[in-house]
A = this chain, B = another copy of it.
Amino acid sequence: MTRQNRAVVLVSGGLDSATALALAREQGRDCHTLCLDYGQRQRAELRAAERVATALGAREHRCVRLDIGGFGGSALTDTRLRVPDAGQHAAENDIPVTYVPARNTIFLSVALGLAEAIGASEVFIAINAVDYSGYPDCRPPFVEAFQRLVEVATQAGLEGRPIRIRAPLLHWSKADIIAAGTRLGVPYGDTVSCYQPDDEGRACGRCDACALRRAGFQAAGVADPTRYRPGPDEGE
């Protein structure tokens, strides 16, 4: 593969980024996966990210530690905040407490740095504006603004060949994503979407992320391979 085919793919261990990686691979990209360890309360998703990267043929996988967990402000990194059940932040335009401050801005910036360093021409990010949870950095204007930034911020941009930000899932429903990924052989059973999985990566089945994921498999007509942990009433 030529250097022109080199891409950095942000992976989180979740369903969406696994699908984005599979799409990049299908399009012939030489994929360098990047996972950001930002102090997530749950480590299962970091292990899932590496597993999925290997399964889908990434050339190399990096996990970069970034100590922004101590910033607080999000239930995903701050153990004092409770992850809400699905629908609890029902008010329109509300930003959920699971929002990590500037997360996708930070993730894209670090991916951009890696892309520059290894001479990649693209960065793939699995943000999605359809079944998103109300995060500001999951919408088309965010992607467009970041692309404009890249054009003036980087050596490659000044040389007239800006790194391209690819968000192939931006306008897809969760069902579209799952249908495409299933066709491409994404091992969804290995992915973790839950905001509060247990140590083995089993999902709670109750949070926003679980609700979106379950509905997606139903709408796609694909059997849900998610491993759920037993609820309080179910025993083992």
Contacts and interface: CB of A to CB of B under 8 A. Distances in A.
A223 interface: no
B114 A105 contact: no
A117 B72 contact: yes
Interface in A68-112: 68, 70-74, 93, 95, 99-106, 108-110, 112
DSSP majority for the A interface?
A: helix
A55 interface: no
29 contacts: A62-B70, A64-B66, A64-B68, A65-B66, A66-B110, A68-B114, A71-B114, A74-B117, A95-B155, A95-B158, A101-B112, A101-B113, A101-B117, A101-B154, A102-B116, A105-B109, A105-B113, A105-B153, A106-B106, A106-B112, A108-B109, A109-B109, A136-B153, A136-B157, A136-B158, A142-B149, A145-B145, A145-B148, A148-B148
B149 A105 contact: yes
Interface residues of A, number: 47
Contact of A106 (B100, B110, B139): B110
Interface string A112-137: 11111110000000000000000011
